[in-house]
């Protein structure tokens, strides 16, 4: 089927192609009669303007790039949905990219978004030293960071203050009588991984919990490292009696490994996760979490980008975190399980 062109619309409407172009671009220099004729012809022919051609003739593409860290992570899936819906209400189509917690993959997507002439970009950056991040800023592409930041890069951002939630979780576990608490940390190459580990270290020192460095396992915000963390922690001569995973996907991996080791959550070991995924409250036992509003983060990111596109320089936003206590951490301190492979 041959694509309908502006000339086809002009012929049906009985006007010139230039008139059709003015009507479609919203130019007021057309008569009401001409606008009506063109609009009727557009509907009759089901004409759809070529978005790429329009972008070449204007400074707008009506598209925004969104790059999340890992689409499999429930937190980022919810964040992407909130941002995409918010942008759609403003008339933007979202081009979604998945960095897969990998800087090279991030840069490949960002280079593509730049070449597509998107009107702006919302990105959860994978750390510094990115030529593609530099290219965004050099080309003055309106950019907002979400969830993560890069030190020294002055871009409006929406992030979470992890400190209050982590301190509350540590106090909660200490008050239950736990002393050895394992922490499955995120990658230290990204801001959230570093900030949460710093908050954890400070909170442990304040609470009097064991500061044994073997109780910290460095993960990568993916489920496999959550499983690896639990395996490593419960291979210690003196395993922990509680676990805190620094994000939802590592918590999923940690829970899977605890089940494989026949360790009962809330009885043999207390578990706390950072991020409140909807179905965490439906587990048996329901999971204690450090919560922050993914919907609010998404809405504020869209608002910031709208301001940047309009040429303004909005202030960054920091959202709070809080502890939500559920059954996975409400039991008394259990008897420490024996190390793996020991009799």
Q: Is the dihedral of CA 276, 278, 283, 285 positive or negative?
A: positive
CATH number among 3.40.50.2300, 3.10.129.10, 3.40.50.300, 3.40.50.720, domain 63-158+294-318:
3.40.50.2300
Distances from the Cα of 131 to the Cα of 107, 117, 127, 141, angstroms? 7, 17, 11, 14
CATH number among 3.40.50.720, 3.40.1360.10, 3.40.1020.10, 3.40.50.2300, domain 162-292+324-329:
3.40.50.2300
CATH class of segment(s) 6-49: mainly alpha
Residues 6+ apart with CB under 8 A from 185: 193, 196, 197, 200, 216, 217, 218, 219, 246
Domains of the chain, by residue range, sit at 6-49, 63-158+294-318, 162-292+324-329
Helical segments of the chain, H only? 6-13, 17-25, 32-45, 51-57, 74-89, 103-115, 131-138, 162-175, 191-207, 223-233, 248-260, 294-309
Confirm if 298 and 82 have CB atoms less than 8 A apart: yes
**What percent of the chain is helix, strand and coil (3-state, nearest 5)?**
45, 15, 40
Confirm if 304 and 291 have CB atoms less than 8 A apart: no
Task: Identify the three-state secondary structure at position 176.
Answer: coil
Question: Do 162-292+324-329 and 6-49 fall under one CATH topology?
Answer: no
Nearest to 157 by CA among 14, 11, 297, 4: 297
Q: How far apart are CA 295 and CA 78, in angstroms?
A: 8
List per-residue pLDDT tens for the chain, 343 residues long: 567 788 888 899 998 877 887 787 666 667 888 888 988 988 888 887 665 455 444 567 899 999 999 999 999 999 999 999 999 999 999 999 999 999 999 999 999 999 888 999 999 999 877 888 998 888 889 999 999 999 999 999 999 999 999 999 999 999 999 999 999 999 999 999 999 999 999 999 999 999 999 999 999 999 999 999 999 999 999 999 999 999 999 999 999 999 999 999 999 999 999 999 889 999 999 999 999 999 999 999 999 999 999 999 999 999 999 999 999 997 665 555 556 655 4
């Amino acid at each position: 089927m041959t694509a309908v062109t502006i000339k086809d619309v002009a012929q049906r409407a009985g006007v010139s192609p230039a008139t059709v172009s003015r009507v479609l671009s919203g130019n007021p220099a057309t008569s009401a009669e001409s606008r009506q004729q063109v609009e009727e012809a557009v509907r009759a022919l089901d004409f759809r303007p070529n978005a790429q051609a329009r972008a070449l003739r204007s400074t707008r593409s009506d598209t925004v790039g969104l790059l999340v860290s890992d689409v499999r992570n429930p937190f980022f899936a919810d964040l992407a949905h909130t941002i995409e819906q918010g942008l759609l209400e403003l008339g933007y189509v979202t081009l979604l990219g998945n960095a897969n917690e990998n800087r090279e993959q991030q840069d490949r997507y960002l280079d593509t978004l730049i070449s597509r002439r998107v009107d702006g970009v919302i990105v959860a950056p994978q750390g510094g030293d990115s030529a593609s991040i530099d290219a965004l800023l050099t080309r003055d592409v309106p950019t907002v960071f979400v969830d993560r930041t890069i030190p020294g890069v002055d871009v409006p951002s929406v992030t979470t203050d992890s400190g209050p939630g982590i301190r509350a979780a540590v106090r909660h576990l200490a008050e239950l009588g736990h002393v050895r608490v394992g922490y499955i940390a995120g990658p230290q190459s990204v801001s959230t991984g570093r900030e949460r580990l710093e908050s954890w270290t400070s909170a442990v020192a304040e609470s009097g919990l064991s500061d044994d460095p073997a109780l910290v396992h460095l993960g990568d915000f993916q489920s496999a490292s959550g499983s690896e963390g639990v395996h490593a922690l419960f291979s210690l001569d003196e395993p922990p009696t509680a676990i805190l995973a620094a994000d939802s996907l590592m918590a999923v991996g940690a829970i899977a490994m605890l089940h494989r080791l026949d360790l009962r959550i809330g009885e043999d070991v207390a578990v706390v996760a950072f991020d409140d995924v909807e179905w965490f409250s439906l587990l048996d036992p329901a999971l204690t979490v450090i919560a922050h509003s993914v919907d609010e983060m998404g809405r504020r990111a869209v608002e910031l980008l709208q301001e940047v596109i309009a040429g303004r320089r909005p202030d960054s936003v920091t959202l709070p975190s809080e502890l939500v206590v559920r059954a996975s951490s409400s039991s008394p301190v259990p008897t420490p399980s024996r190390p793996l492979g020991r009799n």
